[in-house]
Each structure stands twice: as C-alpha cells, then as structure tokens.
Chains A and B, each alone.
Chain A
C-alpha cells in the first residue's frame, strides 16, 4: 500500500471513532511500546513544554529512516502511525503526504500546539531529507 492509502485508513479510523474517549483508547493502544534505547538524549529532544518528544533521522540511499519516542503514550500512538506511514519511504513521497490524519484526531486528544509543534517538526524534518 502507498503512504496515501495507509493514511486514508487512519483517517477513516479516527473519523469513525468520533468521540474523544474512543480516540484516546485507540492511541493508548498504539502507543504502548518500550522506550527506544539511547534515543533519550538532550540533542534528540524537540523543543516544547507540553510533552517531550525525542527524534532522530537518517537516510539510506533515497530512503528515510527515523527513531521517534515520546514520554506520552498518546503522542507515542501518533509516533507509531508515523512509523507505519513514513519509515523507509523517500523524502519526496513523505513530502507529498503530510500527516492529514492528525486533523481527524480531536484537538482534545492531541492538542493543537502538540500537532503544530513537535509532531509537525518531525514531519518537516522527514520530508526535508
């Protein structure tokens, strides 16, 4: 499946989970993961106060790879979706597919400043690779 097709599935999923509580549950389920070893270093921390996100990325040929972790399960849930959408894709394909699924997640679940802040910063860095 392409990034676009995978993302469409997530958009549909969050649209169907219309109430915040269900969306919370979904992201909690996705977000349970052991912390990424060695990622939690100051140089990998993205700026922001509401929740901490650690991020690093690199390229192998044309493909972009990254490690991403948050101390928040909910944001980790979004990170899991990012991995499913963007891990091992090209920068050009990532650029064509911004994380529109975030718009289907209630602002009461992932706050606007988290969407526009750390999560958007991660995406921009991936797209710029």
Chain B
C-alpha cells in the first residue's frame, strides 16, 4: 500500500474507479457532487467584493444562500493539497514548460504563461456559461447520465480536438 502511494502513475481504470467511488461518497456522506468551477466564481466574487464594495449590487450577481466560501471552495483548496501530496510522495517533477507546448511555441516561459492565462480565461468563461466543468458536468453529470453532462462532453471534445489540431502541429 505504501509503495503504491509512492508510484508516479496509477493506471486509468484505478484512478477512474477512485473518482467514481469518491463521487458516490460525497453524495452519500455530504450531499454534494464533485465540481470545480463554481469555486472560482465564488473566490473571484469574494475577492471583487473585498476590493469593490458595490460589486454585488452593480452586477445583480446572486450567490445562493449561506457564505460565499462554501464546500466547493474547500474542495478546490483540497485539490491543491492533494496534487501536492501525490507529487511529494512519488518525487514527481513537472516539466518547466510542457514539451508539446514547447515543440510548437518555443521555450519562452513568458509565452507559456500568457497562453495559460488566456486559456484559463476562456476555459472559465465557458465553464460558468455552461454552469459546470469536466468535474461537474462530465463526471458528476456524466455519472448521473444527465443530458447536460453528456452534451457538455461532446461539446468540449469537439472544440478541444479542433483547437489542439490547429495549435499543436509538432511534438504530438
């Protein structure tokens, strides 16, 4: 068991099973489903509310009942810790710049940072317009066999495949 935790990679069927079971556990024990994008909306809203006190009223943005920092926010913080823990145990070292990116756009970290920022921006705009992301729609929605979840998966693969083929001609 100890050596397993120190592995650099687990096979996909194991990881997928773990995620499926985790999704079940959160439903049964906490009445929550896995999801990552709403936390970003909340963190962003909280930050903006701090900096610009009139923010909520101005946009008419409603946060449903309770504190703006909710279960999903702690979930996302947990993801950060979990990713760190896994890498720490296995000695995983990430590439400075992903090699597929570098093969196509060169070794400039600045360029990669800009790409990541823009990508993240478009990603989250899409996620919140869809009201979910791969965790929320594809996995949680997918396991519920939701039409929203399955349509989302088809949409992201359609545009993701097209975009990747346009952006990354080398190093595939």
Same complex for A and B? Answer no
Residues of B within 8 A of A (CB): none
Residues of A within 8 A of B (CB): none
